[in-house]
Chain A
Amino acid sequence: MVQARPINDNWLAECQALADGIRRRVLSHTVAHGGYLSQACSSAEVIGFLYGRGMNLGPSEGPLIPPPFAGAPSKDNPGHTSGMLYNGRRAANKDRFFLSPTHYALTLYAALIESGRLGPDGLSQFNTDGSTVEMIGGEHSPGLETNGGSFGQTISQAAGVAWARRMKGDTGKVWVFMSDGECQEGQVWEAIMNMAFQKLDNVHIVVDNNGQQVDGRVEEVMGLEPLDAKFAAFGAHCLRVDGHDLAALDAAFQTPHPGKPLVVVADTDPTHDIGLLKERWPNLHYIRFASEDERSRYADALKAMEI
């Protein structure tokens, strides 16, 4: 069943503006501090689509300026907060979002700012001591609900949430953003197998297939292709699209998938819109400038994007 959506003829332009804003904001931060830039380049359209079109979230409940870290959850620490507040209040008809590879935190924070869920100054706390705006976010960080840094766990937790929501009769979906590298974890396939067995069709998964991991190219570290065939073989309904094509992403997520989780493998370019990154290829995981000259060339690229 194709879900009825509010008519918004302008969504493509709005999502593209989100995507452009994410890239620009992460580049700006990277010029100043270094950072996880290639992840923003590859996933900006995907994340922009999720926040601008795909997900049905309520308004943010989080403060525009994120609170300092109040300590890990514990029965003796009722003051701890969850980053999920930034994705809106829990409601039976609202969607839930799980970002699995929390190394994309900077990209997510940028998306929250671009979509008005986090104040522009929120990013100034990034990776500063005592802040929740952590480099590799935890479940207290804006937009996050789990500690996804140990890969493969968030998809299973999302599956449990989806099972419980189905049991309760919730109509909202459960969205999971993943990266390709983490699909090397066996737990990912345990989770897909399980969701197919449980017929959890309230789960939407998108995989940022940017071909990159810490050591370099995925195909040289531990090849995963054919990734879409793997998901299908484990029982998911899987489509593969150009992850920079917003209309294609939208069509993919409107595909009926009764009785199966939906997985969209989004083929992406980790240098998309920032061609300078190609000079560093294939080592793109984290940008730490080798010289002031390199930094200034990225600053020039940023100026060009801001025009």
Chain B
Amino acid sequence: METISRVHAKALTEWGREHPEAVVLSGDLTTSCEADGFRDAYPDRFLSMGLAEQNMMSFAAGLAREGLRPLVHTFAVFMYRRALDQIEMSIAYPNLPVRIVGFLPGVTTPGGASHQATNDIAVLRSLPNMTVIEAGDATDVESMLEVADGVDGPVYCRMLRGALPRLFPASDRMRLGRARLLSDGGEIALLSSGICTEEAMRVVNALQARGLGVRHLHVTTLKPFNDPLVLETCRTASLGVITMENHTRLGGLGTCVAELIAEHGIGKRQISVALSDSYLQGASPKYLMARYGIDANALVRAVEELAGRDLDIGEDELGAARTGTYFFEKQQEAL
């Protein structure tokens, strides 16, 4: 599998070339959020906002009121936690086209609880007017800006950085409200998002080899959550539904799917593979995924629970584990 580094850095700089209305704001994490290329190419449209995220979010709203398209870059926690009221009253209420480009979702940083965005989707999808999209590979990251640009209103982009796998062909761009169909089968609906899709793909072949039909979808739009393919996939899965996400089990993909199942009266059992209801710790992604229950083994256990039998899948039957990191050597910090 191809792995590429600094995908957003390249995409953002290219975006800036074609979009003079694009303005980038950064909260002292410019290289860390891969905005350094834009900064160097378009210094007149780059705003160093310092460590003052509340001002940064409201300031971005002011720019948007004047017709600019602000792209706010910092770690997600410093926006959706520290400046939530600013996101709500300055940006979401007036439905302004501010793009909140949030980095370090869930386990992708060893920076500990202060840096790990583990409940960002739960918080931001509850905001009126907010659209929430999430990247799971290099192609998704390359698509984020154009998908966001098509939205009349604020968009939260749950972004990835560093070395990323290319799971989907570069020409197969992310589409708003449309999941990617990765495998087909009639027994289990497997809906994964973000970095969990790569992890889930390690398991699906082994499940199919055991004779389990798995329809695997990669979900990139968390709000609005109205993809007919997702609904149909849940409806037709004979054994039930499994969701898998790099986010707390409260309020993320699993909750979106549960609401969908309930609202449509589908009556399917659902197992949520998600971060336990806990803050995490500073450690590697691999360690955190295992400890907090979102790795391949956690998915196998969920499938066994749903299928009602022991699948006896050995580690050697799973696809190769991820070796990349969400880190780049040019970053100014160690996270």
Could you give, for residues 21-59 of chain B, a 1 whenever the CB lies within 8 Å of some chain A CB and a 0 otherwise? Answer: 000000000000000000000001001011010110111
- Are A160 and B60 closer than 8 Å at their CB atoms? yes
Residues of chain B lying within 8 A (CB to CB) of residue A156: 54-55, 57-59, 61-62, 86, 90
Nearest B residue to A156 by beta-carbon distance?
B58
Interface residue? A153 (CB, 8 A): yes
With A160-B58, A160-B60 already in contact, the answer to whether A194 and B50 are too (CB < 8 A) is yes
Nearest B residue to A157 by beta-carbon distance?
B62
Residues of chain A lying within 8 A (CB to CB) of residue B44: 167
Residues of chain A lying within 8 A (CB to CB) of residue B65: 145, 157, 160-161, 164
- Are B94 and A73 closer than 8 Å at their CB atoms? yes
Interface residues on B, range: 20 to 34
**Residues 69 to 119 of chain B near chain A (Cβ within 8 Å):** 70, 85-86, 89-90, 93-95
- Are A187 and B58 closer than 8 Å at their CB atoms? yes
Residues of chain A lying within 8 A (CB to CB) of residue B61: 156-157, 160
With A156-B55, A161-B66 already in contact, the answer to whether A72 and B49 are too (CB < 8 A) is no
- A187 to B89, alpha carbons, bound, how many Å? 14
- Are B86 and A153 closer than 8 Å at their CB atoms? yes
- Are B68 and A164 closer than 8 Å at their CB atoms? yes
- Are A187 and B55 closer than 8 Å at their CB atoms? yes
- Interface-central residue, A155, A157, A190, A194, by most chain B CB under 10 Å: A157
Interface residue? B306 (CB, 8 A): no
Interface residue? B146 (CB, 8 A): no
Residues of chain A lying within 8 A (CB to CB) of residue B89: 147, 149-150, 153
Interface residue? A41 (CB, 8 A): no
- A156 to B49, alpha carbons, bound, how many Å? 11
- A139 to B94, alpha carbons, bound, how many Å? 8
With A153-B90, A156-B90, A164-B63 already in contact, the answer to whether A186 and B58 are too (CB < 8 A) is no
With A147-B89, A156-B90 already in contact, the answer to whether A74 and B62 are too (CB < 8 A) is no
Measured CB to CB, the closest approach of chain A to B79, in angstroms, equals: 14
Residues of chain A lying within 8 A (CB to CB) of residue B58: 153-157, 160, 187, 191
Could you give, for residues 151-190 of chain A, a 1 whenever the CB lies within 8 Å of some chain B CB and a 0 otherwise? Answer: 0111111111111110110000000000000000011001
Contact of B62 among A150, A152, A158 (CB under 8 A): A158
- A198 to B52, alpha carbons, bound, how many Å? 14
- Are B59 and A187 closer than 8 Å at their CB atoms? no
Interface residue? B319 (CB, 8 A): no
- Are B55 and A162 closer than 8 Å at their CB atoms? no
- Are A159 and B62 closer than 8 Å at their CB atoms? yes
Measured CB to CB, the closest approach of chain A to B24, in angstroms, equals: 13
Interface residue? B152 (CB, 8 A): yes
Residues of chain A lying within 8 A (CB to CB) of residue B62: 156-164
Interface residues on A, range: 20 to 34
Residues of chain A lying within 8 A (CB to CB) of residue B68: 164, 167
With A74-B95, A164-B62 already in contact, the answer to whether A191 and B55 are too (CB < 8 A) is yes
Residues of chain A lying within 8 A (CB to CB) of residue B49: 194
Interface residue? A193 (CB, 8 A): yes
- Are B55 and A164 closer than 8 Å at their CB atoms? no
Residues of chain B lying within 8 A (CB to CB) of residue A72: 93, 128
Residues of chain B lying within 8 A (CB to CB) of residue A5: none
Residues of chain A lying within 8 A (CB to CB) of residue B64: 160
Interface residue? B153 (CB, 8 A): yes
Residues of chain B lying within 8 A (CB to CB) of residue A164: 62-63, 65-68
Interface residue? B248 (CB, 8 A): no
**Residues 187 to 216 of chain A near chain B (Cβ within 8 Å):** 187, 190-191, 193-194, 197-198
Measured CB to CB, the closest approach of chain B to A152, in angstroms, equals: 7
- Are A194 and B153 closer than 8 Å at their CB atoms? no
- Are A168 and B66 closer than 8 Å at their CB atoms? yes
Measured CB to CB, the closest approach of chain A to B147, in angstroms, equals: 15
- A197 to B51, alpha carbons, bound, how many Å? 13
- Are B52 and A193 closer than 8 Å at their CB atoms? yes
Nearest A residue to B129 by beta-carbon distance?
A74
Interface residue? A280 (CB, 8 A): no
Contact of A157 among B85, B90, B128, B129 (CB under 8 A): B90
Nearest B residue to A98 by beta-carbon distance?
B62
- Are B129 and A73 closer than 8 Å at their CB atoms? yes
Measured CB to CB, the closest approach of chain A to B195, in angstroms, equals: 30
- A194 to B51, alpha carbons, bound, how many Å? 10
Nearest A residue to B86 by beta-carbon distance?
A153
- Are B95 and A157 closer than 8 Å at their CB atoms? no
- A197 to B291, alpha carbons, bound, how many Å? 45
Nearest A residue to B58 by beta-carbon distance?
A156
- A75 to B97, alpha carbons, bound, how many Å? 11
- A74 to B152, alpha carbons, bound, how many Å? 9
Interface residue? A87 (CB, 8 A): no
Contact of B93 among A73, A186, A187 (CB under 8 A): A73
Residues of chain B lying within 8 A (CB to CB) of residue A197: 50
- Interface-central residue, B50, B60, B65, by most chain A CB under 10 Å: B65
Contact of B90 among A146, A162, A163 (CB under 8 A): A146
With A161-B65, A161-B66, A163-B63 already in contact, the answer to whether A194 and B55 are too (CB < 8 A) is yes
Residues of chain A lying within 8 A (CB to CB) of residue B129: 73-75
- Are B52 and A190 closer than 8 Å at their CB atoms? yes
* 9 nearest A-B pairs in the assembled complex, by CB-CB distance: A160-B62, A156-B58, A164-B66, A190-B55, A190-B52, A160-B59, A157-B62, A161-B62, A75-B152
Chain B residues in the interface with A (C-beta under 8 A) = 44, 47, 49-50, 52, 54-55, 57-68, 70, 85-86, 89-90, 93-95, 128-129, 152-153
A154-B58, A156-B59 given; name 6 further pairs at CB < 8 Å: A73-B129, A156-B86, A160-B64, A163-B63, A194-B55, A197-B50
Q: List 10 A-B contacts (CB under 8 A).
A: A73-B95, A139-B93, A147-B89, A157-B58, A157-B61, A159-B55, A160-B62, A193-B52, A193-B55, A194-B50
